[in-house]
Amino acid sequence: MTQELASLQVSPVERVKYRGFWTGAWRRFRRNVLAMYGLVFVGFIIVVALFVPVLAPYPYDKIDLAHGLEEMSKEHLLGTDQLGRDMLSRIMFAARPMLLVGFVTQVAALLIGLPLGIIAGYKGGVFDWVVTRFIDFFSALPWYLIVLYLVMVLKPSLQNLILALIITSWVNQCRIVRGLTMSVREQDYIEATRALGLPTWQILTSHILPQVAPLALWGFAVGIPTAVFAEAGLSFLGLGVRPPQPSWGQMLGESGQWWIYKPHMFVFPGLMITLSVLAFQGLADGLRASIDVNVNV
Amino acid sequence: MLPLLDVRHLEVAFFTKDGVVKAVNGISYTLDYGDTLALVGESGCGKTVSVLAMLRLLPVPPAKIMGGQVLLEGHDLLRLKLDQMHTVRGSQIAIVFQDPMTSLNPVMPVGDQIAEAMQVNLRLGRKEALEQTEVLLQRVGLPNAANQLKSYPHQFSGGMRQRVMIAMAISCKPKLLIADESTTALDVTIQAQIVDLVKELQQELGMTMIWITHNLGLVARLAKRVIVMYAGYIIEMGLTKQIFANPIHPYTIGLLNSVPGIELTVDQDLQYIEGAPPDMIKLPPGCPFSPRCLYRSERCLTERPELVELTTSVAAACWNIDRVHNR
């Protein structure tokens, strides 16, 4: 009994120093296994994509018909495809369009959606009405179909794929930012700053923006896996990255004829798609959990 | 000399789906430089709305300023373009709001919040503004001001936050300071401190003041003149001393009677005015106070009394002043 009580003794409370919002967010993020996996894997992919000309054993387009459809060997660690191109090199090179699509679309979506969302949410009125109708329009239609049609109409290419994804993905960013702005706008302290004579742009940038920034950052992060997955899917259908440039989705598509005899042709690109989408998703979820003050324990 | 503030027939309405809420119905008053005015009345009588309308801080729609003029040193604020109002707000007229718990941005250090206003209105550099902020925080009696610049509002008590709000309001040296029930959310001892602080600052900076309050004790102590509002109308206005000594309007009498005195014993009931304020969508056709008035006559129900000057220092809006005072 006494022992039990002794073990129950509470250690003296240490004075916890407040080190700022982002330090706390990082502390919470670090404890999240999936998020940390995501961070490491994404970091790894970025490094590979940056240094791929040095790292890759072969150029991505070196054709060697004599050694087509070879299994894994010392010369070709992940085997070769139907044209004798080195699978490992092609998989490594394919990290580039994947990252390009993921980041460029989401940066653009942020640059369009964030200001539109803040202004629409704060100002209201006709501007808000117009923006909201856009949001409604794009939310009502399946975004994948819109992208598919747009790419087909614009001619399949990586640029057009990125353009199509930007057109559909700013809407999400805009919607979440607008919603939060509308609730922040009604706070007393916003009225207080107006009474103090701050012009609107100053209220938006110094009071509203810091409040919506974490959520916009989360919107940015969740947008990436979606875009990456869309790129893989469209390249699989032959509407994305154009040959000879490699992409995981496209490689998966090409493996169709041989996959039953040569599983290495679809296993590795498929694995890469799965792992990277999972990594981005884990990163985004971890980010949300670590910056959302409502789940902060 | 031109008065600092001249409000003429200010009318404000809110257009809601239930009907038009007539919140302020043609109020007029003037305020001289250095004067202290108190606006009193029940909740919802239009005190705050009239002031917010003056600063064009009401959301339009649903609010709409139906008419009138608000002349600040001869310039009509209601005719100013909305995007020019920020030249008036803060640097000419500033408000200290009721609730210090929600009127500060929770995610911004208080130093930055105060400095921001000065950076914008006085065009100070950031460093200079922060130095000024430190002086201000010292002046409003925040202990250890230099180290508080980086503190967040949640680290402060209510009284300290109200001091911060005051520092913020006076930071740009406004000519007119409006205290919108600034002491309501504070406990009584802190209230007295805050009131004294504002009074001192008013003298020091030569500000003109409007106190919006329910607290009649405060009015007696602070304001030279008082305006009693009811249902969006001014029903009595004049020198505070006179009105407290000799209230004219039945509503003012009721209001003063309902202040519990120190001699009240436990078994005595509190005084109050029967009934409730009228529905602001369907105001009675006559005197707005008539449904609750003990002295009402036929005329009160059909015809609305205008504010009439009884002496040089007191005006009231009532048909039956003689009857009320020959009880």
Residues 226..265 of B with a Cβ closer than 8 Å to A: which?
Answer: none
Is the CB of B91 less than 8 angstroms away from the CB of A197?
A: yes
Of A187, A191, A206, the CB nearest to B116: A206
What is the pLDDT, as a whole number, of residue A130?
95
pLDDT above 60: residue A8: no
Q: N- to C-terminal Cα distance for chain A? A: 31
What is the pLDDT, as a whole number, of residue A18?
60
- Peptide bond preceding B106: is omega within 30 degrees of 0, i.e. cis? no
Q: Which residues in B lie closer than 8 A to residue A293 (C-beta atoms)? A: none
Chain A within 8 Å of B122 (Cβ-Cβ)? no
Q: For B86-119, b where at least 16 C-beta lie within 10 A, e where not — what string? A: bebbbbbbbbbbbbbbbbbbeebbbbbbbbbbbb
Is B90-223 in the same CATH topology as B1-84+224-262+271-327?
yes
Round to whole Å and give the CA distance between A289 and A175.
Answer: 20
Is the CB of A192 less than 8 angstroms away from the CB of B57?
A: no
Task: Using a pLDDT cut of 90, give the percent of chain A over it.
Answer: 36
> How far is residue A265 from each of residues A69, A284, B195, measured CA to CA in Å?
8, 30, 80
Round to whole Å and give the CA distance between B239 and B241.
Answer: 6
Is the CB of A196 less than 8 angstroms away from the CB of B106?
A: no
Is the CB of B103 less than 8 angstroms away from the CB of A188?
A: yes
Test the B interface: residue of A22, A193, A211 with most B CBs within 10 Å: A193
What is the pLDDT, as a whole number, of residue A297?
37
At residue A53, what are phi and psi to the nearest 5 degrees?
Answer: -60, -30
Residue, of A264 and A7, whose pLDDT is higher: A264
Q: Which residues in B lie closer than 8 A to residue A191 (C-beta atoms)? A: 57, 97, 103
Chain A within 8 Å of B55 (Cβ-Cβ)? yes
Domain chopping of chain B, boundaries: 1-84+224-262+271-327, 90-223
Q: Which residues in B lie closer than 8 A to residue A21 (C-beta atoms)? A: 107
Q: Are B264 and B323 in contact (CB under 8 A)?
A: no
What is the pLDDT, as a whole number, of residue A7?
55
What is the pLDDT, as a whole number, of residue A295?
46
pLDDT above 60: residue A1: no
Q: Give me the mean pLDDT over the B242-261 stretch.
A: 83
Of B83, B106, B117, the CB nearest to A196: B117
Residue, of B299 and A234, whose pLDDT is higher: A234
Q: Give me the mean pLDDT over the B50-60 stretch.
A: 86
Q: Which domains does chain A have, with CATH numbers?
A: 21-53+83-295 (1.10.3720.10)
Size of interface A-B (CB pairs under 8 A): 69
Residues 226..255 of A with a Cβ closer than 8 Å to B: which?
Answer: none
Q: What is the CATH number of domain B1-84+224-262+271-327?
A: 3.40.50.300
State pLDDT tens for residues A123-176: 888 999 999 999 999 889 888 888 999 998 998 888 999 999 999 899 999 999
Task: Using a pLDDT cut of 70, give the percent of chain B over it.
Answer: 99
Is the CB of B172 less than 8 angstroms away from the CB of A210?
A: no
CA distance A13 to chain B (A): 19
Task: Using a pLDDT cut of 90, give the percent of chain B over it.
Answer: 2
| Residues in Cβ contact with B15 at an 8 Å cutoff, skipping those fewer than 6 apart | B21, B61, B62, B63, B64
State pLDDT tens for residues A208-267: 998 888 889 888 988 999 999 999 999 998 888 888 889 998 888 888 887 788 888 888
Q: Which helix (H) or strand (E) holds B39?
A: strand B36-40
- CA-based nearest residue to A178, from A109, A136, A116: A116
- CA-based nearest residue to A32, from A223, A283, A295: A283
Round to whole Å and give the CA distance between B98 and B183.
Answer: 7
pLDDT above 60: residue B65: yes
Chain A residue closest in CA terms to B83: A199
Q: What is the CATH number of domain B90-223?
A: 3.40.50.300
